[in-house]
């Protein structure tokens, strides 16, 4: 059976939650036993998200095969159990034009004039269909980034219009996600913006089959009648997407109650398989009825924007689900910490654990080092990720070994003790995009260590995104003073995990474990970190 294609567009406003809608629909179809994949079409001209500022675009999500992608792909993987996201699942205008221009330069078009139609649209369709060649699938769900009416999205809309023409209505479904705003003191919801958005979409030759309407309260029958009449969409295909109250993980349940997955199956005239929603019900029960609250201090320079550390926050929540606790985030600005030196903030805010995430550049570094020192000295559970591990190494070198000038060559190229430095193959690299150690790499874990206690195995694979590494020549000095190198690359040259001997839970990892955590399968390190933070909170009540 050929796979069915579901295309999701957005209208009226950006940031309505297309990515989470795609992920939730994928989760529901997977709960019914279908094989699903998801793809993001980003209309920006960047080749990928790797060089974008986290303040503007949120975090960069890294796939197994080392693609730097939009954070929506993180939702796709987190919400589903079997969907594997690769670079093929992330498409940008930049990639499309780059590929077409490369072909034109090679002469592949045999002297023809290269145009948006058919060459750009054909390349977009090729990227969609390629997903179906690599695996057996029932559904391909494609998110078209941006908002209908944006000039950048036009080639993508034209490509999906052609897909329906070529594959038939019975194999293609169009979902349009829009906003139904509530205006004024009377609290009256307005359907007019959605009507205009659908009208705009129809100028591109696309008639939506399903309308998903974001609103502050459930759509009334009268409003559904009105939308059905003016948007030419069956009333039963108009879905209320009400603002959630507690957790993003309520969204699959909301769409299940609204019968979004059933509407899709009816569109394709497919027999509905029974849904197995037990795992999601368990997750929601824990989220709504936690045994207690655990406070985690996150010391990162991008804390002003929630999406900058999206996978970190979600993975901490997953760790909370595994331990039946609610996780509260205490966001601490390292620059402010550096400037004011108020290290007692961790005691004042009653932090039960401290996490320093990844990042680049030297802004706020001394503040992060103060936080790490506080966690080490006061025996507070500490989790350092990427830069958070590198700084734990620097802090240990300065304050335990006694090398006061220890540093990373990222911050001081002439450091007397360059305990963190560039690999030889990274020297001389000028281009920024895609030039780091990216994607999945193996790691060997020492037995009888905290890392082994959490993973319960000696060989793991984790995703990376960094340039700088632990300088291996200093390994013996660190081990002599009580640092345990508990995870290392198979060739013994790259330090992947460090921990401290005389500390209840102090782990730093060179990789990004947050990219492999799911609510139904929390990552072992986040589960262990929250478990230890919970224990710390009970001992300090």
Give the list of residues 6+ apart from residue 48 with CB closer than 8 angstroms, or none.
67, 68, 69, 90, 92, 94, 95, 433, 434
Q: Tell the burial category of 58 from Cβ atoms under 10 Å away from its Cβ (0-12, 13-18, 19+).
A: buried
- The residues with which 294 forms a beta bridge, in sequence order, are 327
Report the alpha-carbon distance of residue 348 to residue 345 in Å, rounded.
5
- The superfamily in CATH containing domain 4-281 is P-loop containing nucleotide triphosphate hydrolases (3.40.50.300)
Whether the CB-CB separation of 221 and 231 falls below 8 Å is answered with no
pLDDT of residue 430 exceeding 50: no
**Average confidence (pLDDT) over 252-271:** 93
Whether the CB-CB separation of 355 and 529 falls below 8 Å is answered with yes
| pLDDT tens column, 83-102 | 889 999 999 999 999 999 99
Whether the CB-CB separation of 16 and 212 falls below 8 Å is answered with no
3-state secondary structure (DSSP) of residue 252: helix
Read off the tokens for 344.
Answer: 């007692």
Q: Which fold has domain 292-539?
A: Rossmann fold (3.40.50)
Q: Angle between the 260-267 and 18-31 helix axes, to the nearest 10 degrees?
A: 70
pTM of the model: 0.92
Whether the CB-CB separation of 134 and 34 falls below 8 Å is answered with no
Report the alpha-carbon distance of residue 122 to residue 155 in Å, rounded.
10
Give the mean pLDDT of the chain. 90
Q: Pick the more confident residue, 53 or 495.
A: 495
Q: Tell the burial category of 68 from Cβ atoms under 10 Å away from its Cβ (0-12, 13-18, 19+).
A: buried
Report the alpha-carbon distance of residue 322 to residue 316 in Å, rounded.
10
HEC assignment per residue over 297-321: EEECCCCCCHHHHHHHHHHHHHHHH
What are the extents of the domains in the chain? 4-281, 292-539
Same fold for the domain at 4-281 and the one at 292-539?
Answer: yes
Q: Which helix (H) or strand (E) holds 474?
A: none
**Average confidence (pLDDT) over 193-222:** 92
Read off the tokens for 362.
Answer: 């030297």
**Average confidence (pLDDT) over 334-354:** 88
Supply the residues annotated as catalytic: 386, 512, 514
Report the alpha-carbon distance of residue 161 to residue 518 in Å, rounded.
34
Candidate from 213-227, 345-359, 432-446, 470-484 with smallest mean pLDDT: 432-446
Candidate from 39-53, 365-379, 495-509 with smallest mean pLDDT: 39-53
């Amino acid at each position: 059976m050929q796979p069915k294609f579901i295309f999701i567009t957005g209208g009226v406003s950006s940031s309505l939650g297309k990515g989470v809608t795609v992920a939730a629909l994928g989760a529901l179809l997977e709960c019914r036993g279908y094989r699903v994949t998801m793809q993001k079409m980003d209309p920006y001209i960047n080749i990928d998200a790797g060089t974008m500022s986290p303040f503007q675009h949120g975090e960069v999500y890294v796939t197994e095969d080392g693609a730097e992608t939009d954070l929506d792909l993180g939702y796709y993987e987190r919400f589903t159990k079997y969907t594997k996201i690769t670079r093929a699942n992330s498409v940008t205008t930049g990639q499309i034009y780059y590929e077409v221009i490369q072909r034109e330069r090679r002469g592949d078009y045999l002297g023809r004039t290269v145009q948006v139609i058919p060459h750009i649209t054909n390349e977009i369709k090729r990227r969609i269909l390629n997903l179906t060649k690599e695996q057996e699938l029932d559904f391909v769900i494609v998110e078209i980034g941006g908002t209908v009416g944006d000039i950048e999205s036009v080639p993508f809309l034209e490509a999906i219009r052609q897909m329906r023409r070529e594959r038939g209505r019975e194999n293609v479904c169009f979902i349009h996600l829009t906003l139904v705003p509530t205006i004024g003191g009377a609290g009256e919801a307005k359907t007019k913006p959605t009507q205009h958005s659908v009208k705009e979409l129809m100028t591109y030759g696309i008639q939506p089959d399903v309308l998903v309407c974001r609103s502050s309260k459930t759509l009334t029958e009268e409003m559904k009648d009105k939308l059905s009449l003016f948007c030419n969409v069956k009333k039963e295909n108009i879905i209320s997407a009400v603002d959630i109250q507690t957790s993003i993980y309520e969204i699959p349940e909301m769409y299940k109650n609204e019968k979004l997955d059933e509407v899709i199956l009816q569109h394709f005239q497919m027999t509905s398989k029974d849904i197995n929603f037990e795992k999601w019900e368990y997750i929601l029960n824990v989220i709504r009825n936690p045994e207690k609250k655990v406070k985690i201090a996150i010391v990162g320079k991008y804390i002003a924007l929630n999406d900058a550390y999206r996978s970190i926050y979600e993975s901490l929540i997953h760790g909370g689900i595994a331990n039946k606790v609610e996780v509260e985030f205490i966001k601490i600005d390292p620059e402010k910490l550096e400037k004011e030196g108020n290290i007692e903030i961790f005691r004042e805010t009653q932090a039960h654990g401290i996490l320093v995430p990844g990042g680049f550049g030297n802004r706020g570094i001394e503040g992060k080092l103060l936080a790490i020192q506080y966690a080490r000295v006061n025996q507070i559970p500490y989790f350092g990720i990427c830069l958070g591990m590198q700084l734990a190494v620097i802090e240990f070198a300065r304050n335990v070994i006694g090398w006061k000038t220890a540093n990373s060559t990222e911050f001081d190229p002439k450091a007397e003790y360059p305990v963190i430095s560039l690999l030889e193959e990274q020297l001389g690299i000028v281009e920024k995009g895609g030039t780091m150690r990216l994607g999945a790499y193996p790691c060997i874990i020492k037995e009888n260590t905290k890392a082994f206690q959490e993973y319960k195995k000696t060989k793991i694979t984790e995703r990376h995104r960094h340039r700088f590494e632990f300088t291996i020549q200093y390994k013996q000095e660190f081990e002599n003073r009580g640092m345990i190198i508990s995870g290392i690359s198979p060739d013994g040259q790259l330090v992947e995990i460090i921990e401290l001997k005389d500390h209840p839970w102090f782990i730093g990892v060179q990789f990004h474990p947050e990219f492999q955590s799911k609510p139904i399968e929390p990552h072992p390190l986040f589960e262990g970190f929250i478990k230890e933070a919970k224990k710390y909170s009970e001992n300090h009540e």
